[in-house]
Structure 1
Amino acid sequence: MRILLSLLIILGHFTLTLPASAGSLVVLGDSLSSAHNMKPEQGWVHLLDQRIQREGYLIDVINASVSGDTTQNGIARLKMLLQKVDAEIVIIELGGNDGLRGTPPFAIRKNLVRLIDMVEEVDAEVVLLGIQLPANYGVAYTQAFKEIYPDIADETGVFFVPFFMEQVALVPERMQKDGIHPNAKGQPYLVDKVWPYLEPLLEERD
């Protein structure tokens, strides 16, 4: 009996001192986040994962980004993802392909709000990455598109990263020849842009 009691005490102590489950940080994006035309380990999501590990945060990083994805596609994929992973933080980087196809801003907005709602329904935090279009898509449309992201952030209160590509898009040596996608040199700047908005969430969960 004494042996059994001692074993139960030891097991109880072990259970209490186990580290918490890592949980997951999901990046739901398109070609800007899928390491388009480069090795996966060169992409900003992989570099973000490395930085998270260096800083000692315990969370699994899942890159659920697909080249060419739209906000509508994202809704379908996110539903399945949230059923399979224990998401604690979801970074949403979508909308650029919608804009390049001329999708009405109200439709993009509706889909992004739906994505945010889906994440919040599972009690996870959202980080929304702001996207802008090249100027050749017309002043009226590019301005309306640009305003979608800060407007949604104000309305929903999610963590918001203004113009995710700010330090890359207008620097030719950090962009691929297509003028749309960042190259390997530009990827670290994307991590640096996201980090100040993400780190408070990582600290909070620790």
Structure 2
Amino acid sequence: MFLRSITFYLLTLCSLFTIAVPAGASTLLIMGDSLSASYGVDTEKAWVSLLRQRLDREGFSQWTVANASISGETTDGGLRRLPALLEQHEPEVVIIELGGNDGLRGFPPNVTQENLARMTELSQAAGARVLLVGMQMPPNYGERYTRAFAAIYPTIAENSGAELVPFFLDGIYNRDGFMQDDGIHPTAAGQPQLLDNVWPHLHPMLQNTTGAN
């Protein structure tokens, strides 16, 4: 009798939870590093918060943004965390903004490429569309390394069919007042440009994904 009562309670609770989930809701999962974790910037001014506002403003309010970005994250760490996050959030779109820390630490480009390619593959296998956010290394890392690193993102996009933001910091890294003193992270002034770099590639994905307007 006790077990039947507990079972009935759990089924009722699950039923109530299911009813509470908005119909047609879609999830966008962001796998990023400090550039997407609002490092050195008030959270409400960071590009991910600005993205949430733009989704509401442009008729995509049924989309939920799950920001799983961590400052200092590498592609290796992102790859380890991704399977559980895919299972938890069941996203329709995954934005992968990783690799910058790999490059700054001098990781072999082929290792970074393998990790990002695997993350793309896992996301697509889970039914999500992928937006890959490209990064580049400063010239002091040497021409050979910077060229190999820059080629990672378009190569994966071409091989996998993922969408591509060519360079996340385009229009930011070389503008006065748009970068913090460390020369790595954008200031609050640079956050809208980060979103503007992502949005033209993300917007068509939202329109063409089940559950979007």
Assess same fold via TM > 0.5: yes
Tell me the secondary structure at the aligned position of residue 199 of structure 1.
helix
Query: Is 1:38 aligned to residue 41 of structure 2?
Result: yes
- Where in structure 2 are the equivalents of 1:75-154 lying within 5 Å? 75-154=79-158
Cα shift readout 1:5-52 (whole Å, capped 9, x = no counterpart): xxxxxxxxxxxxxx7431210110001111001211111011011101
Partner of 2:14: none
- Where in structure 2 are the equivalents of 1:18-97 lying within 5 Å? 20-57=23-60, 58-97=62-101
Q: Distance in 2 between matches of 1:102 and 1:25?
A: 30
The AA in structure 1 aligned to 2:59 is: G
* Matched length: 189
Q: Distance in 2 between matches of 1:119 and 1:173?
A: 36
Tell me the secondary structure at the aligned position of residue 185 of structure 1.
helix
The AA in structure 2 aligned to 1:116 is: T
Tell me the secondary structure at the aligned position of residue 95 of structure 2.
strand
Q: Distance in 1 between matches of 2:29 and 2:188?
A: 21
How far has the Cα of 1:90 moved from its partner?
Answer: 0.4
Q: Distance in 1 between matches of 2:142 and 2:184?
A: 16
Q: Distance in 1 between matches of 2:154 and 2:176?
A: 26
Q: Distance in 2 between matches of 1:138 and 1:144?
A: 10
Q: Which runs of 4+ in 1 moved over 3 A?
A: none
The AA in structure 2 aligned to 1:61 is: V
How far has the Cα of 1:172 moved from its partner?
Answer: 2.8
Q: Distance in 1 between matches of 2:149 and 2:103?
A: 7
- Where in structure 2 are the equivalents of 1:164-203 lying within 5 Å? 164-203=168-207
* TM-score of the superposed pair, with normalisation by structure 1: 0.89
Q: Distance in 1 between matches of 2:125 and 2:168?
A: 25
Is the 8 Å Cα contact of residues 121 and 160 (structure 2) preserved in structure 1?
Answer: no
Q: Distance in 1 between matches of 2:129 and 2:63?
A: 13
* TM-score of the superposed pair, with normalisation by structure 2: 0.86
Identity of aligned residues (%): 49
The AA in structure 1 aligned to 2:182 is: D
